[in-house]
Amino acid sequence: MTAELNVPRRVVGRSPRRPAAEARPPSLRQTQKEATRNRVLDAARELFDSQGYQGTTIREIARHAGVAVGSVFTNFASKGEILSQVMAARLDGLYAELDRVVPHIRGTTADRLRSIFGVFFAFEATRSKLFLSHIAAAYDWTLPATARPFGTNQRLIDLLRDCLAKGVADGEVDPARDIQDIIDVLLAAYGWTYRLVVTHGADAKAMTEVMDRRVALIAEGFRPR
């Protein structure tokens, strides 16, 4: 018996497959736009940290960046969006570290919450006024949808949600409590603690001590009865 040969049939009319084209390098226009964007972000970071959110204008950002006002609006829809981008770029490295560290934090739910906020206070201590600008932008009702002011950072919200969910599983958080309500109270306490920078020149250690006490009060409210 003759074995049947498995010979692939030629598909008529189909051209041989060509290798994918290599990615084109960015054009001069794209490179210049990216350079302008970076100059704007660098200038805005310094101004928000020295003059605050309300005290900084688009015109000042453009002047410090050495670009035209129109060039700023070519890249960003508003001052609030610029601040959101400044904070996003600043926090990316922190969240990468937190993603690595948080699963290894031990202790009660309250202890883990204290550790998370302690990391944030320590990180923001070098630019606490910049973070105050971030908080202030949350009350700017003219912000476009593209802006991400304080309280809308999904990565922080997810960190807190995961911590509280573990607390529910461990029997330390009342499952009848609304997790989002607890997160909102924690964020409110966190943001309000930064007023101590203005009123008392508080550093990371002082703010962490205050937040630790507030976490204890909040934890008393969410523990099972």
pLDDT in tens, 91-118: 888 888 888 888 889 999 999 999 999 9
Instruction: Classify residue 153 by its DSSP letter.
Output: -
How many percent of the chain have pLDDT more than 70? 89
For residue 50, what are the CA distances in angstroms to 28, 47, 222?
A: 33, 5, 39
Pick the CATH number of 30-76 from 1.10.10.60, 3.40.920.10, 2.102.10.10, 3.40.50.620: 1.10.10.60
Q: Is the pLDDT of residue 80 over 90?
A: yes
pLDDT at position 123: 92
Top-confidence residue, 33 or 80: 80
Burial class (CB in 10 A: 0-12, 13-18, 19+), 111: middle
- Please, are residues 182 and 84 in contact by the beta-carbon 8 Å criterion? no
For residue 34, what are the CA distances in angstroms to 6, 31, 37, 41?
A: 55, 5, 5, 11
Position 219 confidence tier, pLDDT thresholds 50, 70, 90: very high
- Please, are residues 108 and 124 in contact by the beta-carbon 8 Å criterion? no
Domain(s) of CATH 1.10.357.10: residues in the chain: 87-222
Position 16 confidence tier, pLDDT thresholds 50, 70, 90: low
Q: Is the pLDDT of residue 21 over 70?
A: no
Domain(s) of CATH 1.10.10.60: residues in the chain: 30-76
- Write down the architecture of domain 87-222 according to CATH: Orthogonal Bundle (1.10)
- Please, are residues 79 and 61 in contact by the beta-carbon 8 Å criterion? yes
